Amino acid sequence: MFRDASQHILLCSLALKTNVKETHILLEESPHFASYITHLVIKPDATNIKSQPKSVEQVPSKLTNVHYYIMMGTFTSQQNPMFTSTLLDFLVWQPLRKLTVISGAALPPAIILHLITTVPIITFTLVSL
């Protein structure tokens, strides 16, 4: 009786740092979970992106209802061009209200321009041009 209500509450937030492949499998097996996720945090580390590139790209593409998104790490095309284009496509198709970008590296001006034209509220921390 409480399963659906509990799932909405328990699955409203998703943080992708490790175990990306397991998250992708979960969303494949239970696709209705994707609509419950309204808060997303992605903190890719270089080893995660290189060892699980398909999973890192496919998890955000399954989500449909993200309102608040926190990007942590570096998202430059030199690091992983596919992840950058997948990430930008993801931002366009979400009902985002707020975006926080935390990056210790410089972001290209084209990506910053794309970000500020996609989301109504955006916060940059440790980002340089």
Q: Does 81 have pLDDT greater than 70?
A: no
Percent of the chain with pLDDT over 90: 19
Q: What is the mean pLDDT of residues 120-124?
A: 91
pLDDT tens digit sequence for 22-75: 888 888 999 999 999 999 988 766 545 555 556 667 788 888 899 999 988 765
pTM of the model: 0.78
Q: Does 19 have pLDDT greater than 90?
A: no
CA-to-CA separations, 51 to 47, 70, 87, 107, 109, in angstroms, rounded: 6, 22, 18, 23, 28
Domains of the chain: which residue ranges? Answer: 3-125
Both tokens of residue 4?
């659906």
pLDDT band at 129 (very low <50, low <70, confident <90, very high): low
